[in-house]
RNA sequence: GGCCCGUUGGUCAAGUGGUUAAGACAUCGCCCUUUCACGGCGGAUACAUGGGUUCGAAUCCCGUACGGGUCACCA
């Protein structure tokens, strides 16, 4: 039986979940789930300085909202815990010491000042640490240790040769060992660096596929050297291209680019966001674009992953969100839209469900609803110019005439008969009696009722929504304005 | 700057030596229609660049340009 696929999402709790991060989680989830594997959540909080309170809750919450449930993690447990790196602090040092013993790592007593100095002096010559402590004698090391000198443990890179590996999406990657810095494995506070903790944890947690952003592409050989020194199997690597804000800037929290949470606040659906970002860097075998999370699992295949950066296009997300909204069950739509409808319409007698049905086909996000129906509570000020419409063949003169006719017609309709069918038949009749196009009646009515040149729904719907009293009042206002 | 990676229309993206170079968003035009939207139909727009290899290159090789990444006691 083939080994079970295990992937992990390993965010550091430093704030909101940004889109690139979420997409990485998605692909990790899909890679595992499409092959019947496990998806693990691990919190990488080895940098206490950057820790932000509440950030882990956002991570849990986001995973829940998107439906990407992890099989193991700090909140759900599992056989490989703890799943928070700060709680595993003691597990790393022994491995570092083992590396020191077998010559793959060494103690370094250089002060931060000294390091800064080399950095400043070396300009753009050799990158990184100058390996000052690499060849200290055993005695020197012992003495310093005994004296309590602060130290870090660094990885001892080979000075010559190359290290290569095959990435699933990028193919063969080969780096000269001389390019590799003697990176720090254990910091002076005793905490491991990401570089070290990552390797240890991935191995200890049986992670088979390491999936992460391609900024690690050229440092991966360092990790492989670590795996080898420890005598461990090297995992499968899948590096992902970045999600961009524009052609040259990555999407990032620092620039305040949209996070998942922001998009939700802006009225986007979690499932639409997920669907959209799935397609940013991956494409299915056919031309399908709409997928639920489960459908993504069914259709996912690793070869569909792309290696070039993708620009996040909010315009297309809007469209896709709109499609989700339009295809939603009307009752569900009503339930989700209700808070937004209530905020936009204060009048208590308004049929919000009717409004929901009008707005469902027109609003791409929930935030788009309010501006569409801002005329309901009160008639806005408007210019009579909008009564003129070329295609409807309306102008101020015939609008006035038709509005008057409509007014007296509507006055005759009993309040109890004030429904769309009745209103529709009456107005259509009026048009044919007068021998004019329907639009010549409808357009001025719609205009008088809304004071806008664009509305969700036409004259009939607006008459119904506004009710007899309000409708008549607004039409009278329109007549007054046109008579001036 | 060294090293690594990338480059198909404005954007996402199919394509793995022979195609009229898909499809989607956006855009433009037309149709439908009581406005708008939805929907339908159609248009315009792309293989960064120069050399090879080959009967034949978006597809393979080399160079160039452009862009990104990396070179932290951050992840």
Q: Please name every residue paired with A193 in a beta bridge, in sequence order, or none if there are none.
A: none
Question: How distant, in Å, are the alpha carbons of A31, A88, A289, A301 from that of A286?
Answer: 19, 44, 9, 12
pLDDT(A21) > 80: yes
Answer whether any strand B atom is within 7 A of the Cβ of A463: no
Answer whether any strand B atom is within 7 A of the Cβ of A172: yes
Length of chain A: 484
Q: Which residue is nearest to nucleotide B25 (CA to C1')?
A: A316
| pLDDT score at A59 | 96
pLDDT(A68) > 80: yes
Written as six digits, the tokens of A139 are 């005695």
Pair A321, A268: CB distance under 8 Å: yes
Q: Which of residues 370 to 409 on A have a Cβ less than 7 angstroms from any strand B atom? A: 389, 391-392
pLDDT tier at A117, thresholds 50, 70, 90? confident
3-state secondary structure A64-132: HHHCCCCCEECCCECCCCCCEHHHHHHHHHHHHHHHHHCCCEEEECCCHHHHHHHHHHHCCCCCCCCCC
pLDDT(A464) > 90: yes
Helix (H) or strand (E) holding A185: strand A184-186
Question: How distant, in Å, are the alpha carbons of A176, A208, A221, A229 from that of A232?
Answer: 22, 12, 14, 8
| pLDDT score at A382 | 94
Answer whether any strand B atom is within 7 A of the Cβ of A250: yes
pLDDT tier at A123, thresholds 50, 70, 90? low
Q: For A228-235, what is the mean pLDDT? A: 96
| pLDDT score at A48 | 74
Written as six digits, the tokens of A112 are 């931060």
Nearest nucleotide to A446 (CA to C1') is B35
Answer whether any strand B atom is within 7 A of the Cβ of A449: no
Q: Which residue is nearest to nucleotide B22 (CA to C1')?
A: A287
Residue-wise pLDDT tens digits, A86-96: 999 999 999 99
Pair A321, A272: CB distance under 8 Å: yes
Answer whether any strand B atom is within 7 A of the Cβ of A26: no
| pLDDT score at A337 | 97
List chain B nucleotides near protein: any atom < 7 Å from a Cβ: 1-8, 10-16, 22-26, 33-39, 67-75
Pair A222, A183: CB distance under 8 Å: yes
Q: For A120-128, what is the mean pLDDT? A: 62
Pair A347, A376: CB distance under 8 Å: yes
Q: For A172-196, what is the mean pLDDT? A: 93
Can you tell me whether residue A35 is helix, strand or coil? coil
Cβ-based neighbour number of residue A123 at 10 Å: 7
Counting Cβ atoms within 10 Å, is residue A179 exposed (0-12), middle (13-18) or buried (19+)?
A: middle
Question: How distant, in Å, are the alpha carbons of A112, A183, A459 from that of A122?
Answer: 15, 17, 76
More confident residue, A484 or A438: A438
Helix (H) or strand (E) holding A310: strand A310-311
Helix boundaries (H) for A123-219: 138-146, 194-204
Active site residues of A: 253
pLDDT(A468) > 80: yes
DSSP A387: G
**Over chain A, what is the mean pLDDT?**
93
Q: Strand A184-186 relative to strand A152-155: parallel, antiparallel, unpaired?
A: antiparallel
Q: Which of residues 71 to 100 on A have a Cβ less than 7 angstroms from any strand B atom? A: none
pLDDT tier at A115, thresholds 50, 70, 90? confident
pLDDT tier at A126, thresholds 50, 70, 90? low
Provide the whole-model pTM.
0.94
Residue-wise pLDDT tens digits, A344-384: 999 888 999 999 999 999 999 999 999 999 999 999 999 99
Nearest nucleotide to A358 (CA to C1') is B37
**Count of alpha carbons within 13 Å of A138, Cβ hemisphere only?**
3
Q: For A131-136, what is the mean pLDDT? A: 91
Answer whether any strand B atom is within 7 A of the Cβ of A219: yes
Counting Cβ atoms within 10 Å, is residue A15 exposed (0-12), middle (13-18) or buried (19+)?
A: middle
Q: For A108-113, what is the mean pLDDT? A: 90
pLDDT tier at A127, thresholds 50, 70, 90? low
Written as six digits, the tokens of A17 are 């979940």
Answer whether any strand B atom is within 7 A of the Cβ of A181: yes
């Amino acid at each position: 039986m083939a080994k079970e696929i295990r992937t992990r999402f390993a965010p550091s709790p430093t704030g909101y979940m940004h889109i690139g991060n979420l997409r990485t989680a998605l692909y990790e989830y899909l890679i595992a789930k499409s092959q019947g594997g496990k998806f693990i959540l691990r919190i990488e909080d080895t940098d206490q300085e950057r820790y932000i309170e509440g950030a882990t809750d956002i991570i849990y919450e986001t995973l829940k909202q998107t439906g990407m449930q992890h099989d193991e993690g700090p909140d759900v447990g599992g056989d490989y815990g703890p799943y928070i790196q700060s709680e595993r602090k003691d597990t790393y040092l022994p491995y570092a010491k083992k590396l020191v013993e077998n010559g793959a790592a060494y103690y370094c007593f250089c002060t931060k000042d000294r390091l800064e100095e080399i950095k400043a002096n070396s300009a753009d010559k050799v990158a990184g640490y100058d390996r000052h402590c690499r060849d200290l004698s055993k005695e020197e090391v012992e003495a310093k240790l005994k004296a309590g000198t602060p130290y870090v443990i660094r990885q001892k890179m080979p000075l010559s040769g190359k290290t290569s590996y095959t990435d699933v999406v990028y193919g063969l990657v080969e780096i000269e060992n001389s390019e590799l810095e003697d990176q720090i494995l254990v910091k002076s506070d005793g905490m491991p660096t990401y570089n070290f903790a990552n390797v240890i944890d991935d191995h200890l947690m049986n992670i088979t596929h390491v999936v992460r952003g391609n900024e690690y592409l050229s440092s991966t050989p360092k990790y492989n050297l670590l795996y080898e020194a420890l005598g461990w199997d090297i995992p499968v690597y899948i590096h992902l291209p970045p999600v961009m804000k524009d052609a040259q800037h990555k999407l990032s929290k620092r620039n305040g680019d949209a996070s998942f949470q922001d998009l939700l606040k802006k009225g986007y659906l979690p499932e639409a966001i997920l669907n959209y970002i799935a397609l940013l860097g991956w494409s299915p075998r056919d031309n399908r674009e709409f997928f639920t999370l489960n459908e993504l699992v069914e259709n996912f295949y690793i070869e569909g992953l792309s290696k070039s950066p993708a620009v996040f296009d909010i315009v297309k997300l809007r469209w896709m969100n709109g499609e989700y909204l339009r295809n939603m069950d009307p009752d569900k739509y009503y339930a989700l839209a209700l808070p937004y409808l209530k905020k936009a319409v204060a009048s208590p007698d308004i049929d919000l469900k009717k409004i929901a049905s009008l707005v469902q086909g027109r609003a791409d996000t929930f935030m788009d609803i309010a501006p569409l129906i801002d005329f309901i509570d009160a008639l806005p000020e408007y210019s009579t110019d909008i009564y003129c419409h070329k295609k409807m063949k309306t102008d101020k003169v015939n609008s006035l005439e038709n509005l008057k006719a409509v007014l007296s017609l509507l006055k005759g309709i009993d309040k109890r008969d004030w429904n769309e069918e009745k209103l529709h038949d009456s107005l259509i009749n009026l048009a044919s009696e007068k021998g004019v196009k329907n639009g010549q009646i409808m357009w001025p009515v719609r205009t008088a009722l809304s004071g806008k040149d664009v509305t969700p729904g036409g004259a009939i719907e607006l008459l119904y929504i506004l009710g007899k009293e309000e409708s008549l009042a607004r039409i009278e206002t329109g007549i007054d304005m046109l008579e001036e």
